[in-house]
Amino acid sequence: MHLDQDCCILGDNMSKHSSSIFLYVAAAIVVIILIVFVVRKGSEPSVYTPFAQCLTEKGTKMYGAWWCPHCTNQKAQFEGAFDKVTYIECSNPGSRNMNQICKDAGIEGFPTWEFADGTRQSGEIPLAKLAEKTGCVLPQ
């Protein structure tokens, strides 16, 4: 009789062990699915990618600073496509001092947009205004 009890205890432990393995495997599958979803979503081009590329092709560039909230807002308007825009960082990491490149360019505030014709506009510029100024097509 003692053997039967040990057998049952061993069986219960195996059942608990199997349940634990099942939960770990299920959790791992969920994590893998989430990772695939995030990677795929991040790799989808933004609807603003052609617009951002056009700005660069037309000689438009933005001067900004890593610490500038208006620059952050302006970049966010591109919904992931800002990396296609010509961007000049005016502050070194960890510093709020303007670097020499931006001093030499005469930048006085952030963000500053410079266009191919040499004109500039400072502040957050609506994308529609950038489209109007450059002739780039803004997605609907």
Q: Give 19's contacts (C-beta < 8 A, 6+ positions apart).
A: none
Reading the block at residue 44, the tokens are 């989808």
| pLDDT tens digit sequence for 58-78 | 999 999 999 999 999 999 999
CA distances from 97 to 36, 63, 92, 105, 112 (A): 40, 14, 7, 15, 16
User: How wide is the angle at C-alpha 130 spanned by C-alphas 128 and 133, nearest 5°?
Assistant: 110
Domain ranges of the chain: 1-44, 49-134
Q: Report the pLDDT value the prediction gives residue 100, as an integer from 0 to 100.
A: 96
Digit-coded pLDDT (tens) for 4-49:
444 444 445 555 667 778 777 767 777 777 776 655 555 678 999 9
pLDDT at 2: 47
- What pTM was computed for the model? 0.69
| Confidence band for 140, pLDDT divided at 50, 70 and 90 | confident
How many Cβ atoms are within 10 Å of 106's Cβ, its own excluded? Answer: 10
- What value does the mean pLDDT take over residues 107-122? 97
- Cα separation, 125 vs 113, whole angstroms: 8
**CATH code of the region 49-134:** 3.40.30.10
**Angle between helix 127-134 and helix 49-57 axes, rounded to 10 deg:** 40
| Mean of pLDDT values over 107-114 | 97
For 62, the token pair is 């933005």
Could you tell me the maximum CA-CA distance found in the chain, to the nearest angstrom? 96
Q: What is the Cα–Cα distance from 82 to 96, expressed in whole angstroms?
A: 22
